[in-house]
């Protein structure tokens, strides 16, 4: 059985995204008391109806506490770029990494002026193409395939967005791609020998991310298994109101709802919905259809330029 130190050795010490660095510290000590003025932002329950997690804002200077009953307590100081993880005995490294790369990174981005979109993204011909959608829609698979065919990897799960002038820019996320093992094999990605995963954990692959931000040119809402025939991909642009609703549903952090954050979010998504095509992309549930997806995207981009 692995010791706590050997399990911690599997975890990241630094997370880099959006050109910023988040230092990760680990501790087996008891976390400090919650500040009296902490504001409860969110709590979630498990299937038994018990509290599974709680999120607090512990100061107005970018500090938050995230507590997960079966994993530990995560104290984030977003302005200083430090998160301290007070881990429970018997913690799961996979669960710790899931919390770090998900809610911790989302809070970190929001507090540093970015809007995190739950999407994968690539850079194609110097433009950012984002892929959002419900779980199982194929975001990671599309990003993985396109990253090996003409495009450059930007992110897998969280796309940091920021507006500059009249354009919205997508920034590089974590340089890691996660895929279901069967899908990874079909996409030609092989895990290193001796790699051990926890049950139901996705296979992880280090990738080289694009350097610097790219202007967002398209946001595609993936619907896998909806193509009319094998190998066919269909793209349909949404009108601005429907596009705005789809973007709101795809936010990666809906817990921090301060007036300042909500104003920034509404303005950014409203601008995106008006100025950037948000499209439904329907394609067959078949890895062999991915070349047709790329061809459809290229046709979509070229038709807009005519």
pTM for this prediction: 0.91
Q: Which domains does the chain have, with CATH numbers?
A: 4-111 (no CATH), 115-305 (3.40.50)
**Mean confidence (pLDDT) of the chain:** 90
Q: What is the DSSP secondary-structure string of 254-270?
A: -S---HHHHHHHHHHHH
Alpha helices in the chain (DSSP H): 4-8, 93-99, 105-111, 139-146, 181-186, 240-249, 259-275, 290-305
pLDDT digit string, tens, across residues 159-180? 999 999 999 999 999 999 998 8
pLDDT digit string, tens, across residues 53-91? 999 999 999 999 999 999 999 999 999 999 999 999 999
Radius of gyration of the chain (CA): 20
Neighbours of 279 (CB within 10 A): 20
Name the pairing type of β-strands 72-77 and 63-68: antiparallel
120 pLDDT band, cuts 50/70/90, is very high
pLDDT digit string, tens, across residues 193-211? 666 667 677 888 889 888 8
**Is 52 a residue whose pLDDT tops 70?**
yes
Looking at the chain, the whole-number percentage of residues with pLDDT higher than 70 is 92
């Amino acid at each position: 059985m692995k010791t706590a130190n050997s399990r911690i050795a599997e975890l990241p010490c630094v997370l880099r995204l959006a050109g910023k660095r988040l230092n990760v510290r680990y501790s087996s000590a008891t976390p400090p008391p919650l500040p009296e003025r902490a504001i409860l932002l969110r709590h979630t329950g498990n299937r038994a109806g018990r509290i599974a997690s709680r999120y607090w804002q512990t100061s107005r200077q970018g500090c938050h506490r995230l507590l997960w009953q079966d994993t530990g307590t995560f104290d984030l100081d977003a302005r200083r770029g430090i998160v301290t993880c007070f881990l429970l005995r018997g913690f799961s490294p996979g669960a710790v990494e899931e919390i770090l790369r998900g809610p911790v990174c989302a809070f970190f981005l929001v507090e540093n002026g970015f809007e995190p979109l739950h999407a994968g993204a690539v850079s194609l011909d110097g433009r950012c193409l984002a892929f959002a959608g419900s779980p199982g829609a194929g975001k990671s698979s599309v990003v993985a395939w396109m990253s090996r065919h003409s495009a450059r990897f930007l992110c897998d799960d969280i796309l940091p967005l920021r507006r500059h002038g009249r354009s919205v820019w997508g920034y590089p996320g974590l340089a890691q791609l996660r895929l279901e093992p069967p899908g990874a094999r079909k996409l030609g990605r092989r895990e290193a020998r001796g790699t051990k995963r926890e049950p139901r954990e996705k296979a992880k692959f280090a990738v080289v991310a694009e350097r610097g931000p790219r202007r967002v040119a398209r946001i595609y809402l993936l619907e896998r298994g909806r193509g009319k025939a094998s190998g066919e991909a269909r793209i349909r642009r949404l009108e601005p109101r429907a596009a705005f609703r789809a973007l709101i549903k795809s936010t990666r952090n809906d817990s921090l709802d301060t007036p300042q954050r909500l104003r920034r979010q509404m303005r950014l998504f409203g601008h995106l919905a008006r100025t950037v095509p948000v499209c439904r992309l329907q394609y067959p549930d078949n890895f062999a259809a991915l070349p047709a997806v790329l061809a459809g995207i290229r046709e979509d981009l070229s038709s807009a330029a005519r």
